[in-house]
Amino acid sequence: MIFGHIAQPNPCRLPAAIEKALDFLRATNFNVLEPGVVEIDGKNIYAQIIDLTTREAVENRPEVHRRYIDIQFLAWGQEKIGIAIDTGNNKVSGNAANLLI
């Protein structure tokens, strides 16, 4: 997991796909976008625009992605993000083959 701020350059070299996604985040005015999916590089790189109110930590369960990378970007407001160690014992929740909770 990499933590950072969109305005700060990252001291480590990132893969081209992540840099492309970060360039999109830096250049996009999220105030004018409606919730939905925006393709950045076709179906390979895309943004899910979500407008929601976060829940309390006790209401959430951890998630892990094993087939793709998920960049979390908060355009405005405040949010607390929790992390947990992936022990490999997580059960699949719902119909999402890649999302383990």
| Average pLDDT along the chain, 101 residues, taken 10 residues at a time | 72 84 93 93 92 82 78 85 77 56 41
Q: Which residues are CB-neighbours of 31 under 8 A, at least 6 positions away?
A: 75
Domain boundaries, the chain: 16-100
The C-alpha atoms of residue 68 and residue 17 are separated, in whole angstroms, by 11
The C-alpha atoms of residue 32 and residue 41 are separated, in whole angstroms, by 20
- pLDDT number for residue 95: 52
The C-alpha atoms of residue 28 and residue 36 are separated, in whole angstroms, by 14
- pLDDT number for residue 34: 93
- Rg of the Cα atoms in the chain: 15
